[in-house]
Amino acid sequence: MRAVDALMECLKAEGVEVVFGLPGGANLPTYDAFYDAGIRHVLVRHEAGGGHAAEGYAKATGKVGVAVATSGPGATNLVTPITDALMDSVPVVFLTGQVRTELLGTDGFQEADTIGITMPIVKHSYMIQHPLELPRVLHEAFHIARTGRPGPVLVDLPTDLSRGEIPYEPVTETSLPGYQPTIEGNHKQIRQAAKALAAARRPVIYAGGGVINANAAAELTAVADAGHFPVTCTLMGLGGFPASSPQWLGMLGMHGTRTANYAMDGADLICAVGARFDDRITGKISEFAPHAKFIHIDIDPAEISKNVPAHIPIVGDAKRILARLLDEYRALEADPSRLDAWWAQIQQWREEFPLRYADSADNEIKPQFMIEALHEATGGEAIVVSDVGQHQMWTAQYYGFEKPRRWINSGGLGTMGFGLPAAMGAQVGCPEDLVCVISGDGSIQMNIQELATCAQNEIPVKVFIMNNGYLGMVRQWQELFWDRRYSQVETGQFPDFVKLAEACGCTGLRFEDKTTLLEDMRRAIATPGPVVVDVRVTREENTYPMIAPGSPAREMVG
């Protein structure tokens, strides 16, 4: 069969049910093979939309996402989604077309050095040299993407090789001797971690997106319950521990709660699980958690002690390690009363510094109120996908996430334009779930063309645009750190989102009154098909609390 027909057989063998992509000259053979393959293909309007849709699909389902693009600009349009997937450890296989082999290096039409361009932003990449390689390479790509620390893998396929005839035989196993991720974790170190937790008087469990990737939320909760430990999560870790738990401190970091950040600052032991101590968490790193020893559990050995020295490093899969840590901790029969003074201090912080905002005196909609209303309208059960900016932080603060894979956003790269296509992918992967997008009037416009994709494919995402007429987070920084010199941050009231939604085949609505907002949101959610809601909110509201860049956590403002 043709190499591209073998490619389809490999995709089906990997359990692929849907791919997101856009055809072009160099990948026409691949698209001819899709015609008979029986694999659902969602035709996006821009390759970046396809890449982010594959990310959203992967984040919502836990499966490997697949995005397809042609050569040249098709491939380069995937650079942002590939980088985003690398930063947030998202398993996606990117399949790019390439010019004919005799044109490589000649600056042929739509030629780009896709392997060279993407080498720093992939977990691994392959350039197909012979049609016979394709089945083996495809299965290796999926194996690498989903195992160890998940991430993006790129396969570049010259168009002439894709048409080559090969004797296809199913690949039954993948052997990569040089790639053997550590899974189990060192038993001695796990025992040391249990002893450290049993001795600690001011412990905090600090959980990141690795808990979600490892499907370890239940194990994390069990460890926290066993020791009555306080828990905080990063932006990417939200949903890894139930927000309704009395042990939940809220999110930590630049826009986290004072309680979470003060607890980290005062802790004597921090147990980090699937988190990487990035700058948005640590603030001024030389003053981060000055009294604490660190347990660091991570699948990626490169993250251990990269930013903060780990006193007890444990490399391995979080789900397996937490299960063993639970057994070791229980065997020690630690006295829970040693934490009484710590919990009293935490309760004092909670009472003194709750998340709060000044509500409007009239019918104006405050952004925080909008998120609270959405939480009530959805019963807290929606898959919520955000773009990047103030709306992202307010959602993280005020929409309490109880379960994993219900909160999907771009954390490490902070990609504006991520939300709508990622929600599209999440909705395709979870067709029975309600999927809501929270975006800003700036972010939504960066991939707004995918509204047409949603309409054409009957993907019923509900898009709520927090419209303040500004690039809100940039405006906030200009207000706080640049003497209110607002430079190129005002977007005005363009476009008319209601008309634009209708032009794309979606329902368009506009809400401006807080007194009816809850019922209005319920009406929007009940409307069939894709819906776009323009919610007019307070124009110059700031996201607080906040750790100023370069400051320690104890100096939060707002």
Residue 550 pLDDT more than 90?
Answer: no
Q: At what angle do helices 47-61 and 419-429 cross, to 10 degrees?
A: 50
What is the per-residue DSSP string for 390-408? HHHHHHHHHS---STTSEE
Q: What is the pLDDT of residue 549?
A: 87
Element (H, E) at 197: helix 187-199
Rounded CA gap, 429 and 435, in Å? 11
Rounded CA gap, 205 and 81, in Å? 31
pTM over 0.85: yes
Strands 92-98 and 531-536: unpaired
Tell the residue number behind the tokens 């004919």, with chain if given.
100
Domain that holds residue 127: 3-162
Q: What is the pLDDT of residues 3-12, one digit of tens each?
A: 999 999 999 9
Residue 489 pLDDT more than 90?
Answer: yes
Q: What is the pLDDT of residue 231?
A: 98
Strands 383-386 and 407-408: parallel
Residue 554 pLDDT more than 90?
Answer: no
Q: What does each C-alpha distance from 480 to 120, 279, 469, 484, 557 come to in angstroms?
A: 35, 19, 18, 7, 11
Does residue 360 form part of some domain?
no
Residue 493 pLDDT more than 90?
Answer: no
Task: Please tell me whether residue 290 adopts helix, strand or coil conformation.
Answer: coil
Indicate if the alpha-carbon torsion angle 471, 473, 474, 475 is positive or negative: positive
Q: Give the tokens for residue 277.
A: 């101590």
Does residue 326 form part of some domain?
yes
Does residue 459 form part of some domain?
yes
Q: Do 384 and 485 have their domain in common? A: yes
Q: Do 372 and 312 have their domain in common? A: no
Q: What is the pLDDT of residue 336?
A: 94
One-letter amino acid identity for 530? P
Does residue 295 form part of some domain?
yes
Tell me the average pLDDT of the chain.
97
Q: What is the pLDDT of residues 334-357, one digit of tens each?
A: 999 999 999 999 999 999 999 999
Rounded CA gap, 517 and 515, in Å? 6
Q: Do 488 and 459 have their domain in common? A: yes
Q: Is 318 exposed, middle or buried (0-12, 13-18, 19+ CB in 10 A)?
A: buried
Q: Do 207 and 128 have their domain in common? A: no
Does residue 418 form part of some domain?
yes
Q: What is the pLDDT of residue 182?
A: 96
Q: Do 308 and 438 have their domain in common? A: no
Q: Do 274 and 373 have their domain in common? A: no
3-state per-residue secondary structure call for 219-242: HHHHHHHHHCCCEEECCCCCCCCC
Does residue 168 form part of some domain?
no
Q: CATH number of the domain at 215, please.
A: 3.40.50.1220
**What number is the average pLDDT over the span 222-234?**
98
Q: What is the pLDDT of residues 441-469, one digit of tens each?
A: 999 999 999 999 999 999 999 999 999 99
Q: Do 344 and 371 have their domain in common? A: no
Contact between 527 and 508 under an 8 Å Cβ cutoff? The reply is no
Q: What is the pLDDT of residues 63-77, one digit of tens each?
A: 999 999 999 999 999
Q: Which of 317, 352, 387 is the last residue of a domain?
A: 352
Q: Which of 296, 329, 352 is the last residue of a domain?
A: 352
Tell the residue number behind the tokens 């690039």, with chain if given.
471
Does residue 176 form part of some domain?
no
Q: Do 284 and 308 have their domain in common? A: yes
- Beta strands across the sheet bearing 293-298: 248-251, 231-233, 203-207, 269-273, 293-298, 312-315
Contact between 309 and 331 under an 8 Å Cβ cutoff? The reply is no
Rounded CA gap, 424 and 18, in Å? 12
Q: Give the tokens for residue 382.
A: 């929606």
77-95 burial, b at 16+ Cβ within 10 Å, e below that, comes to bbbbbbbbbbbbbbbbbbb
Does residue 124 form part of some domain?
yes
- Beta strands across the sheet bearing 435-440: 407-408, 383-386, 435-440, 462-467, 531-536, 507-511
Residue 553 pLDDT more than 90?
Answer: no
Q: What is the pLDDT of residues 16-50, one digit of tens each?
A: 999 999 999 999 999 999 999 999 999 999 999 99
Rounded CA gap, 19 and 66, in Å? 5
What ranges in 379-490 are assigned the alpha helix state H?
390-398, 419-429, 450-456, 472-481
Q: CATH number of the domain at 35, please.
A: 3.40.50.970
The total domain count for the chain is: 3
Q: Do 287 and 404 have their domain in common? A: no
Q: How confident is the model at residue 522 (pLDDT cuts 50, 70, 90)?
A: very high
Contact between 68 and 8 under an 8 Å Cβ cutoff? The reply is no
Q: What is the pLDDT of residues 238-261, one digit of tens each?
A: 999 999 999 999 999 999 999 999
Q: Do 158 and 283 have their domain in common? A: no
Q: Do 206 and 312 have their domain in common? A: yes
Q: Do 104 and 198 have their domain in common? A: no
Task: Please tell me whether residue 495 adopts helix, strand or coil conformation.
Answer: coil
Q: How confident is the model at residue 361 (pLDDT cuts 50, 70, 90)?
A: very high
Among candidates 157, 174, 175, which has minimal Cα distance to 166? 157
